[in-house]
């Protein structure tokens, strides 16, 4: 993971956009992290990001972890069906 300043990004945006396809870039302002630049090197990367950050998916992961810690298991097909049938599907 690379770190750069906001000023670096302003001066060489195209360069850092290209680099972000290979690795995440943390953007610093006054030495503190303020943003993350993540590129999509393949079409599936964008879909993966949308799924990984979708509130429904995050809630489902939280519930699955809780069930796991309670000694319960869930079928992947059941989880997939639940996510696809939601009002705001992933």
CATH number of the domain where residue 18 is located: 3.40.1620
| Residue 16 covered by a domain | yes
Cα separation of 26 and 58, whole Å?
A: 23
H runs (alpha helix) in 1-90: 6-11, 13-20, 43-53, 55-69, 76-84
Q: Which of 49, 52, 2, 43 is nearest to 23 (CA)?
A: 2
User: pLDDT tens digits for 42-83?
Assistant: 888 888 888 888 898 899 889 989 999 999 988 878 888 887
Report if pTM > 0.85: no
Measuring CA to CA, how many Å separate 55 from each of 61, 80, 90? 10, 15, 9
- Name the residue with higher pLDDT: 44 or 2: 2
For residue 30, the enclosing domain spans 2-37
Same domain, 31 and 47: no
- The continuous run of DSSP H or E covering 5 comes out as strand 2-5
């Amino acid at each position: 993971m690379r770190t750069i300043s906001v000023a670096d990004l302003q001066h060489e945006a195209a360069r850092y956009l290209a680099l972000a396809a290979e690795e995440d870039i943390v953007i610093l302002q006054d030495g503190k992290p303020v943003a993350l630049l993540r590129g999509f090197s393949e079409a599936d990367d964008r879909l993966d990001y949308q799924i990984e950050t979708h509130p429904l998916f995050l809630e489902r992961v939280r519930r699955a972890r809780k069930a796991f810690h309670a000694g319960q298991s869930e079928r992947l097909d059941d989880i997939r069906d639940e996510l696809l049938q939601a009002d705001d599907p992933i």
